[in-house]
Structure 1
Amino acid sequence: MNPGTETPPSPQGAQRGDDSAVRIGALVPLTRPGWVGAGQHLLAGLELGVQEVNAADGIAGRPLELVVRDTAADPGRAEAAVDELARLGVAALAGEYHSVVARTAAARADAVGLPFLCSSGVLDALTEEPTDWVARLAPAQSHGWRIYGDFLLGAGHSRIAVAADPSVYWASGTRILRDHLTPRGGAVVELDSRALTPPQLCDALAASGATALLLLVGHPDPAVPIVKAVRHDPRLTDLLIGAPAGQPELADWAASLGDDGAAVPFLRYLPEHLPPLGARVEAVLRERLAEAPSFVAFEGYDTIAVLAEALRTHGPDRARIAEAWPLVAVEGTRGRIRFSRTPGIGVWQWAWPPVQVVDRDPARPDRCRVLHVG
């Protein structure tokens, strides 16, 4: 990862160079070490949203244009992209999947006065101080991960092991789980995924007394080798493997792990039944992606729906878009979207998107089972 690396060209069609267009900058991870699958789904949702806005006469007759920049999960690269997009005259900024990258982008957008609607980043402290420039669609990490903690307790798991990479995001998740589980009789055992090989991790798990292992690690490495090692260790037959951050949501998880990747509960931000708009968008995205769209794709579509409404009602002036966050009310793919101030959250927040704990059905790994609803 090199913050000084030149950003690759935008995908074909992302920049038409139309001087009459209202431009939105889009931050997405499209190359490694970013989670490329998530970036592709996020971009597909963003692009479909733009296409439909333009089919409905755009923004007061002006086309909406997406200016895409690849963050590659690199905070420095994202910060440089925010500066570039601000210079290019975009009216607002959208996107980003990786929470640590989204936090850097949010801080820079706040500093330069560029409205940023964060699609997927969940860190509670998306900005260090409260700001009017940033709003967020995804639920705060503390909200979703507490729901996941309730699921674990309800399923009879009170001693939880976490295999964690060193990261602000993973450390935050571990702290949320410990703070939520400990007063309820639970305990969290931390295992360093960088210091332990998968066989050593299995040894530590067998000695820990934990009944569940949570993967707070990147995909595919080290998540895939850890899952394979645990699944094939006879001492750990009854151990639940979980991945609250949602690694099993995308098809490359199933492709990498096959049957071993089933029955791994994760968080996703979808209702049990999509409303009519969501069902229609799901069908279009499924055809475009040649696979079931993840909740990340719906977050992308909803991002454009919100920004288009703000642009229609308040115009393309950056300050006026930022003023629009508490006033916008939009029917999204997963329900009605409105923003408010939420205790402990420094940005305008949709409180809350629907939250589920699901897993891939061992009998049909291409389908998910809803295990718990928050």
Structure 2
Amino acid sequence: MSTPPLPAAPHPDGPPLRIGALVPLTRPGWTEAGRHLLAGLELAVREVNGAGGIGGRPLELLVRDTAADPERAAVAVEELAGLGVAAVAGEYHSVVARAAAARADALGVPFLCSSAVLDALTEGPSEWVARLPPAQSHGWRTYADFLLGAGHGRVAVAVQPSVYWASGTGILRERLAAHGGSVVELDANALGPEALCDALVEHGATAFLLLVGQPEPAVPLVRAVRSDPRLAELLVGAPAGQPEFAGWAEALGADGAGIPFLRYLPERPGPLGERVGEELRGLLGEAPSFVAFEGWDTVTVLAGVFRSYGTDRAAVAGAWPRVAVEGTRGPIRFTRAPGVGVWQWAWPPVQVADRDPAEPGRFRVLRSVPAEAPAGPEGPA
């Protein structure tokens, strides 16, 4: 969906069409991800409004900071529903998005999840919720296949209590076990960095994955492992995507390179992705992460739905299976994926990438799974 030249479109002057936006902007939320997500959302809103808005009505974002707090997100959804939003969008943290999805489903408010991957985003099937990023099982199986392909069948994970980390551990364990591999869990809350290094040596793991918060305890754990000569050959990985962001490189320097992670980008962006990427770089003052592109795609999907199917909440939710929008990372359409209770883009492109040890500011793509060709749409968006 390309944007017409801005001067050719009339300035929207009708009553604003509101979208609620859930974003982690303060700690303990992952604020870097929140900043990128918000930049993508805001850029797309600006472009929609520059092209005349929706039927002469400007889009307006009502932003609420979730701070990685599920209850805070649920309260925000209820508040936004009362303010008359046509839909709620956003969120990065899976446990927070799950709380937001539950409240949106109960209230009958469309929720388009921008960046959270937990498979069970809702307790059961929901007609009100759709999601852009792949389900965790899809992405993390790709990561497990990367490990197996690189010869790593004995994997240790440092894990903290969380349904998201527990789900990820289960996905990795199942995939590796099917090929004769194994996963050893190490409690990152109970073991300090030195004790954890001792445990890695004891278990003889060839790969060590960080299923923990960023920057604490992820950064101290990486420093400890990198400085331990006994672990010089150990692969360190971070499937949740911590090395994607500039803060990782700033905190760890060369120690943060060579750590494979998941991100949801095509190996080569198309013209739309190139153009939006340049705009986002200008806004952020740094290379945009996949999360920024997810933000842009979120508003673009909603704008397409509003134009084609109207802004009534029931009409928006009813349009999920008919969406056909060109996003920055490929054509976006929603379907029902096995084991996923929400309308799902199945699937966006998936990469396993790392920061190049020879040039930590540059990313290397280690494994790439392209976006799957969507089924034929039921109607335009």
Query: Are the structure 2 counterparts of residues 51 and 139 from structure 1 closer, same or farther at C-alpha, using a change threshold of 3 Å?
Result: same
Specify the code of the residue in structure 1 equivalent to 2:350: V
Asked if the contact 2:14/2:58 (under 8 Å) is kept, the reply is: no
Query: How far, CA to CA, are the matches of 2:295 and 2:172 in structure 1?
Result: 28
Query: How far, CA to CA, are the matches of 1:152 and 1:373 in structure 2?
Result: 13
Task: Choose which of 129, 138, 141 in structure 1 pairs with 2:136.
Answer: 141
| Correspondence 1:152 to 2:135 | no
Which residue pairs with 2:82 in the alignment? 87
Task: Choose which of 128, 149, 174 in structure 2 pairs with 1:179.
Answer: 174
Asked if the contact 2:355/2:362 (under 8 Å) is kept, the reply is: yes
Query: How far, CA to CA, are the matches of 2:66 and 2:263 in structure 1?
Result: 23
Query: How far, CA to CA, are the matches of 2:316 and 2:357 in structure 1?
Result: 46
- Cα displacement string for residues 238-294 of structure 1 (whole angstroms, at most 9, x for unaligned residues): 000000000100000000100000000000000011111110000010011000000
- Report the TM-score, using the length of structure 2 for normalisation: 0.93
Which residue pairs with 1:345 in the alignment? 340
Q: Tell me the CA shift for residue 237 of structure 1.
A: 0.2
Which residue pairs with 2:291 in the alignment? 296
Asked if the contact 2:208/2:235 (under 8 Å) is kept, the reply is: yes
Paired residues in the alignment total: 357
Query: How far, CA to CA, are the matches of 2:288 and 2:358 in structure 1?
Result: 20
Q: Tell me the CA shift for residue 19 of structure 1.
A: 7.5
- Cα displacement string for residues 173-205 of structure 1 (whole angstroms, at most 9, x for unaligned residues): 000000111010100000000000000000000
Query: How far, CA to CA, are the matches of 2:269 and 2:127 in structure 1?
Result: 30
Query: How far, CA to CA, are the matches of 2:65 and 2:14 in structure 1?
Result: 23
Query: Are the structure 2 counterparts of residues 295 and 317 from structure 1 closer, same or farther at C-alpha, using a change threshold of 3 Å?
Result: same
Task: Choose which of 227, 251, 260 in structure 2 pairs with 1:256.
Answer: 251
Which residue pairs with 2:364 in the alignment? 369
Give me the identity figure in percent.
73
- Cα displacement string for residues 318-339 of structure 1 (whole angstroms, at most 9, x for unaligned residues): 0000000010100000000000
Which residue pairs with 1:112 in the alignment? 107
Task: Choose which of 113, 126, 130 in structure 2 pairs with 1:131.
Answer: 126
Task: Choose which of 241, 246, 263 in structure 2 pairs with 1:246.
Answer: 241
Partner of 1:282, secondary structure, is: helix
Structure 1 unaligned regions, length at least 5: 1-17
Query: For the aligned residues, what is the CA RMSD?
Result: 0.7
Query: How far, CA to CA, are the matches of 1:205 and 1:62 in structure 2?
Result: 58
Q: Tell me the CA shift for residue 95 of structure 1.
A: 0.3
| Correspondence 1:165 to 2:160 | yes
Query: How far, CA to CA, are the matches of 1:354 and 1:115 in structure 2?
Result: 24
Q: Tell me the CA shift for residue 373 of structure 1.
A: 1.3
List structure 1 runs of 4+ shifted beyond 4 angstroms: none
Which residue pairs with 2:302 in the alignment? 307
Asked if the contact 2:87/2:313 (under 8 Å) is kept, the reply is: yes
Which residue pairs with 2:227 in the alignment? 232
Specify the code of the residue in structure 2 equivalent to 1:362: P
Specify the code of the residue in structure 2 equivalent to 1:38: A
Q: Tell me the CA shift for residue 364 of structure 1.
A: 1.2
Q: Tell me the CA shift for residue 142 of structure 1.
A: 0.1
Query: How far, CA to CA, are the matches of 2:269 and 2:327 in structure 1?
Result: 10
Partner of 1:135, secondary structure, is: strand
Specify the code of the residue in structure 2 equivalent to 1:25: G
Which residue pairs with 2:203 in the alignment? 208
Task: Choose which of 16, 21, 28 in structure 2 pairs with 1:26.
Answer: 21
Task: Choose which of 43, 64, 68 in structure 2 pairs with 1:73.
Answer: 68
Query: How far, CA to CA, are the matches of 2:145 and 2:229 in structure 1?
Result: 28
Task: Choose which of 257, 268, 271 in structure 1 pairs with 2:266.
Answer: 271
Q: Tell me the CA shift for residue 52 of structure 1.
A: 0.4
- Cα displacement string for residues 4-50 of structure 1 (whole angstroms, at most 9, x for unaligned residues): xxxxxxxxxxxxxx970100000000000000000000000000000
Query: How far, CA to CA, are the matches of 1:368 and 1:83 in structure 2?
Result: 40
Asked if the contact 2:14/2:56 (under 8 Å) is kept, the reply is: no
Asked if the contact 2:20/2:63 (under 8 Å) is kept, the reply is: yes
Partner of 1:184, secondary structure, is: coil
Task: Choose which of 186, 191, 196 in structure 2 pairs with 1:191.
Answer: 186
